[in-house]
Amino acid sequence: MNLKDKRILLTGASGGIGRHLALELAAQGVRLALVARRLDALQALAAEIKSVTDQQAYPVAADLGTNEGRQAALDEARRELGGIDLLINNAGVVDFHNFSEQDPAMIERIYQTNLIAPVQLTRALLPELL
Ligand SMILES: NC(=O)c1ccc[n+]([C@@H]2O[C@H](COP(=O)([O-])OP(=O)(O)OC[C@H]3O[C@@H](n4cnc5c(N)ncnc54)[C@H](OP(=O)(O)O)[C@@H]3O)[C@@H](O)[C@H]2O)c1
């Protein structure tokens, strides 16, 4: 698949798998909106991408665990990239406590981030992805 000049919204770009994926995609000529909560990590990644690949990547700080955060991420990514061709739902949280010992607020966060966010982002972007 030729990804050169594709515009990709990548969630969970500030660390782990997402950070490595961003560097790989940028090396293939992809234009990226880098989404996560930690703006400083996203800015550092965008600077690394620029220096290694000469590609411009756009940090988009947003909490995907809320409706407001998801909408803000979509608005800013569309504005920066001028449209979106591909969505990569990578952001996620894990909690290794036994289920009966999990904090109810953490359960809420896990489902909002790992389930609701991918569903809502995909629904919102589907017309332009198709
Ligand atoms: N590593 C594995 O072995 C493994 C195995 C199976 C599945 N996975 C899944 O693969 C994905 C990436 O895993 P990983 O190991 O790279 O995880 P990670 O290192 O913990 O990175 C998670 C990423 O998601 C972002 N994120 C978390 N909550 C967010 C929120 N509310 N809003 C926006 N961004 C949020 C984090 O950024 P901020 O903290 O800056 O927001 C970070 O960039 C996850 O969905 C994980 O569940 C991983």
pLDDT along the chain (130 residues), means of 10: 95 98 98 98 98 96 98 98 98 96 97 98 96
Question: Which atom in ligand 1 lies closest to the alpha carbon of residue 14?
Answer: 43
* Residue 107 resides in a domain: yes
For residue 99, is it within any domain? Answer: yes
| Residue entry with tokens 């981030």 | 113
Residue 38 included in any domain: yes
Sheet holding 86-88, edge to edge: 57-61, 31-36, 7-11, 86-88
Note the pLDDT of residue 72: 98
The answer to whether 22 and 49 have CB atoms below 8 angstroms apart is yes
Residue 88's beta-bridge partner residues? 10
**Domain for residue 1, yes or no?**
no
Q: Is the CB of 14 under 6 A from ligand 1?
A: yes
Q: Nearest CA to 35 among 89, 84, 79, 97?
A: 89
Residue 23, domain member (yes or no): yes
What's the pLDDT at 42? 98
User: Do you know the residue count of the chain?
Assistant: 130
Q: For residue 36, is it within any domain?
A: yes
Task: Pick the residue whose CA is nearest to atom 45 on ligand 1.
Answer: 92
Q: Which domain holds residue 108?
A: 7-129
The closest residue, in CA terms, to atom 8 on ligand 1 is 92
CATH number for the domain harbouring residue 110: 3.40.50.720
10 Å Cβ neighbour count for 100?
A: 5
Q: Provide the number of structural domains found in the chain.
A: 1
Q: Per the domain annotation, does 121 fall within a domain? A: yes
pLDDT at 1: 83
User: Dihedrals φ, ψ of 106, to 5°?
Assistant: -70, -40
Q: Give me ligand 1 centre to Cα 90, in Å.
A: 6
Establish if 2 belongs to a structural domain.
no
